[in-house]
Amino acid sequence: MSFLQLRDASKATFKKGDFYDRVRTRMFEMHPTRASRMQTIRARNLMYFFGVNYILTTLYVLLTEASWSPLFVAMVALCNLSSCVLSGFGHNFSHVANSKMGLFLDLNGLSNAEWNLEHLLSHHMHTNSVLDHDRYSMNPFITWGEQVKGKNLLGTIVTTVTLAVIFFIGESVVALNGNIIHRFRHKYILSFPGGFLLPWIFPVKLAMFFLFQGFWAGLAINLSSMLSVSLYFTILAHCTHMSEPALRAGGLNYDEFGRASHETISKGLDWGLTQLATARDIKNVDIPILNNFLSHRIVQQISSALLLGIDRQSMHHLYPPLDHSIMQDEVRAMALEEINVERTRLPKMALNGASEAEVERMANLLDECEQSLTPIPFPVLFQNLYDVAHGITVEQLLNTKKEV
């Protein structure tokens, strides 16, 4: 499918005066200059902190004999944690044109160039729809769909095991796919000087641990890094989008593989509303030990970094190129105000010829948008994800091969 076909596949609307136009206008009034929409100084310093921490712990692991003492294991764990957090900052910067800081994705093998294709052009434009790569990348082993009440024992076991395996290896597969199968195509996508060197960061990083620590210790360290980053990143990324209401909202502006979905509204819906309804915010984790030394706002910033910024996922999907650090509570409040404005327009829909079913769907969509802006604890989000995950059985796999 070409870019133009991809762009035109959605029925989403961007009408002047509708929800997205209003929140976009108000956001630009709140942050009128390009500089005001970039990463705040506090967030940048936090990124530098984790960057320095990653460098220091990496040097320790490289230059210290792998004795597997508690201190050495702790340093490896701290190195991996810093790497995970930096990948969150890399995700943030990957939405900014020609940003060099997307290299933090390449540090973990996540491939900044690949993200420019599948994440920006597919996931953000067509979230949770049939054109969203993130929704279908695990097929046929895991499919996301309506919750099945009373999953049988076999289905539960298969889903649990398959999810665990894919979450542990998912981002490692992305590294191999982006950097080897696609043959380092960064030079065609990243136009800034030196962009073609980014895919070498990950293999050089792997090689260093083998070189300094030998084969077996290097293998253990590299596997711990790849598996932990994959589990950390994949779970957090998917739990904010995978729930029954979010998946249903993702199909509202699309025909499911050419056949009109029963949920689809033929005239199309405002893009901003469907974006909000397909994302959820994770509730920020309090860190009591830091509250004694730092202000509440700084502690929340650290917690947000540890959560890779998905405590602001709904707002991020409204304004992908804008930095997470400016997505404060006033932005959330502004979006809620505009949702209430949309509610006042519901009676006018019927007067303008909308059916009762369309008005009801819009009311339900606004309810989902409001819930999206209300942070949800991680265990609840993960349970929602698990409910809509379906692992493929051997029988289904054999049937899939026959159909092909």
pLDDT, position 182:
52
**What confidence score (pLDDT) does residue 34 get?**
84
| Cβ–Cβ under 8 Å, residues 284 and 303 | yes
Q: Can you give the three-state secondary structure of 156-220, one letter per residue?
A: HHHHHHHHHHHHHHHHHHHHHHHHHHCCCHHHHCCCCCCHHHHHHHHHHHHHHHHHHHCHHHHHH
DSSP letters spanning 93-154: HTTSTT-GGGHHHHHTT--HHHIIIIIIIIIITSTTSTT-HHHHTTTTTEEE-S--TT--HH
Cβ–Cβ < 8 Å for 58, 37: no
Tell me how far apart the alpha carbons of residues 42 and 286 are, in angstroms, rounded to a whole number.
18
| Per-10-residue mean pLDDT, the chain, length 404 | 58 88 92 87 92 95 88 93 90 80 80 77 86 82 71 71 77 63 53 68 89 92 87 86 90 62 60 92 81 77 87 90 87 92 88 82 91 91 88 56 46
This prediction has a pTM of: 0.84
129-149 pLDDT, tens digit each:
888 888 887 877 888 887 655
Q: How long, in residues, is the chain?
A: 404
pLDDT in tens, 313-330: 999 999 988 888 888 888
What's the pLDDT score for residue 264? 44
Name the residue among 266, 252, 264, 234 with its Cα closest to residue 369: 252
Phi then psi dihedrals of residue 267, to 5 deg: -80, -10
> 283, 282, 300: which is closest to 291 by C-alpha?
300
- pLDDT at position 208: 93
Instruction: Please list, in sequence order, all residues whose beta carbon lies within 8 angstroms of the beta carbon of residue 195, skipping any fewer than 6 positions away.
Output: 100, 113, 186, 187, 189
Give burial (CB, 10 Å; 0-12/13-18/19+) of 362: buried
Cα–chain center distance at 214:
35
Q: Find, among 63, 51, 48, 102, the residue nearest to 221 by Cα.
A: 63
pLDDT computed for residue 259 by the predictor: 40
